[in-house]
């Protein structure tokens, strides 16, 4: 876990209420010694990368900051096509308070902040008592894989243990030392697991902006390879992308089939007419022929395709 390291950064100087919230984030490598029988592809591994973020805030800022993180989760998941994920509010077991750290007042603050934040955003949630971490309540995000198994991906947690154990403080408006509240968040959780589930969810048909190879140029004959390379250079001057030129001595039908199999979003075909008129014939993966247009026109249309927000 990366939480202690961010806490140590926090303690490098005295903090004021005016600075709050203070936010740190990193893609950090973490390890878990899973048993061999529990390992499963990319979805359960021993070493993985976690998008770890920590927010240190005043108690009166907790709900607002929690809302901001939930908004970010909904934005990111929506852009990646995950619209039917499940959310679970994990609370402590009120009948067994001894296994949880912190005082009742702080737990009530954290639990109410999570419940109110999800209600304000109209999120459909389930609530489970006894599922909270020993250091605070949390909001977990789950999605199902291709065969229906449920996996936890992102999580947002209210953490009382770290500020207490590392003696984190800030000077309040009353000139007295106060304890901050810490929000732990990971939108992807394990990025390896998230990528595995994303591949299954999309069937490899990534959004254009996410596809590893977004454009491939298909010359009808070898004498048009140089024209295709010029187009690739022209496009790269605008976007700096990984663009392929299929230089194989194959018929154009074979090149198109192979590009479709690789699920490359855009296929630009060039022959005699296209090279003379500075145009390309466009095919879109899964949609077929889209006609012949100027290269400059394609560039402007493509600019809209790769816009994420």
Q: Check whether residue 22 and residue 101 sit in a common domain.
A: yes
- 123 in a structural domain: yes
Mean pLDDT, range 97-121, rounded to an integer:
82
Q: Check whether residue 51 and residue 154 sit in a common domain.
A: yes
Q: Check whether residue 35 and residue 171 sit in a common domain.
A: yes
Q: Check whether residue 76 and residue 193 sit in a common domain.
A: yes
Q: Check whether residue 219 and residue 127 sit in a common domain.
A: no
Give the span between the Cα atoms of 11 and 19, in whole angstroms.
13
Q: Is the dihedral of CA 274, 275, 279, 280 positive or negative?
A: positive
Q: Check whether residue 144 and residue 291 sit in a common domain.
A: no
Q: How many domains does the chain have?
A: 2
Q: Is the pLDDT of residue 297 over 70?
A: yes
- 185 in a structural domain: yes
- The pLDDT > 90 percentage for the chain reads 49
Q: Check whether residue 130 and residue 178 sit in a common domain.
A: yes
Q: Which long-range contacts (CB under 8 A, 24 or more apart) does 235-242 make?
A: 235/295, 235/299, 235/302, 238/299, 238/303, 239/302, 239/303, 239/306, 241/214, 241/215, 242/212, 242/213, 242/214
Mean pLDDT, range 191-202, rounded to an integer:
89
Please, which pLDDT band fits residue 308 given cuts at 50, 70 and 90? low
- 208 in a structural domain: no
Q: Check whether residue 192 and residue 223 sit in a common domain.
A: no
pLDDT tens for 224-256 read 999 999 999 999 888 888 889 999 999 999 999
Give the span between the Cα atoms of 185 and 160, in whole angstroms.
14
Please, which pLDDT band fits residue 44 given cuts at 50, 70 and 90? confident
The CATH number covering residue 239 comes to: 3.40.50.800
| Residue 40 belongs to domain spanning | 3-202
Residue spans of alpha helices (H) in the chain = 3-10, 62-79, 104-120, 161-165, 191-202, 225-239, 252-261, 272-277, 295-305
- 248 in a structural domain: yes
Question: Which of the residue ranges 13-17, 48-52, 88-92, 103-107 would you say has the lowest mean pLDDT?
Answer: 103-107
The CATH number covering residue 91 comes to: 3.30.930.10
Mean pLDDT of the chain: 89
Angle between helix axes 62-79 and 104-120 (nearest 10 degrees) is 40
Q: Check whether residue 192 and residue 145 sit in a common domain.
A: yes
pLDDT for 1 equals 72
- 37 in a structural domain: yes
- 188 in a structural domain: yes
pLDDT tens for 128-168 read 888 787 778 889 998 887 777 788 888 999 888 889 889 99
Ramachandran area for residue 189 (φ above 0: left; ψ -120 to 50: alpha; else beta): left
Q: Is the pTM of this model over 0.85?
A: no
Please, which pLDDT band fits residue 309 given cuts at 50, 70 and 90? low
pLDDT for 105 equals 79
Higher-pLDDT residue of 240, 177:
177
Give the span between the Cα atoms of 109 and 23, in whole angstroms.
20
Mean pLDDT, range 91-111, rounded to an integer:
79
Asked whether the bond before 21 is cis by omega within 30 degrees of 0, the reply is yes
- 243 in a structural domain: yes
């Amino acid at each position: 876990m990366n939480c202690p390291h961010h806490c140590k950064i926090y303690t490098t100087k005295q903090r004021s209420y005016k600075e709050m919230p203070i936010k740190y984030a990193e893609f950090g490598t973490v390890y878990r010694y899973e048993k061999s029988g529990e390992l499963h592809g990319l979805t359960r591994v021993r070493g993985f990368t976690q998008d770890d973020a920590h927010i240190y805030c005043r108690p009166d800022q907790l709900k607002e900051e929690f809302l901001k993180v939930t908004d970010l989760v909904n934005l990111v998941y929506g852009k990646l096509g995950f619209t039917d994920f499940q959310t679970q509010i994990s609370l402590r077991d009120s009948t067994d308070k001894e296994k949880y750290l912190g005082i009742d007042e702080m737990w009530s603050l954290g639990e109410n902040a999570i419940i109110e934040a999800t209600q304000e955003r109209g999120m459909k949630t389930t609530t489970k008592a006894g599922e909270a971490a020993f250091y605070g309540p949390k909001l977990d995000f789950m999605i199902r894989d291709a065969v229906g198994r449920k996996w936890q991906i992102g999580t947002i947690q209210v953490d009382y243990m770290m500020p207490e154990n590392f003696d984190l403080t800030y000077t309040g408006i009353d000139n007295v030392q106060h304890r901050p509240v810490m929000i732990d968040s990971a939108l992807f959780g394990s990025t390896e697991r998230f990528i595995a589930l994303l591949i299954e969810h999309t069937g490899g048909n990534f959004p254009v902006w996410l596809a590893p190879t977004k454009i491939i140029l298909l010359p009808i004959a070898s004498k048009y390879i140089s024209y295709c390379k010029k187009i690739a250079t022209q496009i790269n001057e605008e976007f700096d992308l990984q663009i392929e030129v299929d230089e194989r001595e194959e018929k154009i039908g074979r090149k198109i089939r192979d590009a479709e199999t690789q699920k490359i979003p855009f296929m630009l075909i060039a022959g005699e007419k296209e090279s003379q008129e500075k145009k390309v014939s466009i095919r879109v993966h899964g949609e077929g022929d889209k006609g012949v247009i100027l290269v400059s026109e394609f560039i402007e249309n493509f600019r809209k395709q790769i816009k994420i927000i």
